[in-house]
Amino acid sequence: MSEISTTAPGQPGPETGLLTFPAALQGCNVLVWGCSNKEQLRALAEQIGPEGQLLVAEPAGPKLLLPARPCPVRLLPSEGTADCTDNSCDLVLVTEQFNLLPDKAVLLQRLFRLLKPGGELYLNTLFADRRLPEQLCQPPAAGDLLLSGALYSHDFRRLLSAAGWPDYRVVAVYPHLPEPDQQTAFGMVAFSRRIIRTFKLTSLEDICEDYGQVVTYNGTLPGSPHSFVLDNHHTFYTGRPERVCGNSAALVQETRFGKYFSVSGDRSRHFGPFPC
């Protein structure tokens, strides 16, 4: 996946608090929620450059040393999102520590307000294929707090929708196996780490609708001369027109990616649901 950028591009590892980030971050204001890996933050700061800003909110406490300064960096206190201005962030990155929150809806609502119109939420965390039974959220099973806090994917979709995001995209899915001593408690639950992206756009709808739109990637995004990966169902190849739903057209036209795409058509004529 050429668009994911990490210290080992395209190869997320098993660490808690893993930070992955998308492309086209030059000059952006970026908030990271829940990462204490200095090397990953340094790589992110280099992508942002001197015209942007990196904010770091570490829920485990302000123990992080600031990385070298390829861009301005500010470390926020553990409840640091309260120090951010609404509509101020181009991108918010959220790590697996999201699973540790007892009320995830509150954070999602706050992050929605922090994003600028067209801004992106990019979340990398653990999910479960069902709602976990109450006993799995209590000791001793809850000794692995990341697992016991894993959300059922459809409940996550409902939380996003309530916060203001009617559509989201899955960038990647990686199976996550409990440790051998956890198999007895969690054995019947399938866990996965998913990289999710969604954008703050008033034009997004709750299903894919067909407006006859066509998008073409022009190949000018630095580091991606041949293709652009939007999600695990949409790879746009340079110069090749692609028919898309209204939401996908908005995701590449009304965001920081707009200058890298040509979009043909608007929403003046509706052809029904898009055949996904």
Candidates 160, 170, 167, 175; CA nearest to 128 is 175
pLDDT by residue (tens digit) across 219-272? 999 999 999 999 999 999 999 999 999 999 999 999 999 999 999 999 999 999
Q: Where along the chain do its domains lie?
A: 29-199, 213-264
Give me the chain's average pLDDT, please: 84
> Could you give the CA distance from residue 183 to residue 267 in angstroms, rounded to a whole number?
50
pLDDT by residue (tens digit) across 149-174? 899 999 999 999 999 999 999 999 99
One DSSP character per residue, 150-217 reads PEEHHHHHHHHHHHT-S--EEEEEEEEPPPGGGHHHHTT--EEEEEEEEE--TT--SS-B---EEEEE
Instruction: Give the pair of three-digit tokens for residue 168.
Output: 């989201």
Give Dmax (Cα) for the chain: 57
Q: Taking the model in full, what pTM does it have? A: 0.86
Per-position b or e across 198-218, b if 16+ CB within 10 A of its CB: bbbbeebeeeebbbbbebbbe
**Count of CA atoms in the C-beta half-sphere (13 A) of 7:** 11
CATH (residue range 213-264): 3.40.5.100
- Percentage with pLDDT > 90 across the chain: 59
> Could you give the CA distance from residue 68 to residue 109 in angstroms, rounded to a whole number?
31
| pLDDT level of residue 81 (50, 70, 90 thresholds) | low
Instruction: Give the pair of three-digit tokens for residue 242.
Output: 């692609």
pLDDT at residue 145 in the model: 77
pLDDT at residue 13 in the model: 36
Thinking of the domain 29-199, which architecture would CATH place it in? 3-Layer(aba) Sandwich (3.40)
Which residue did the predictor score with more confidence, 97 or 155? 155
pLDDT by residue (tens digit) across 100-122? 888 899 999 999 999 999 999 99
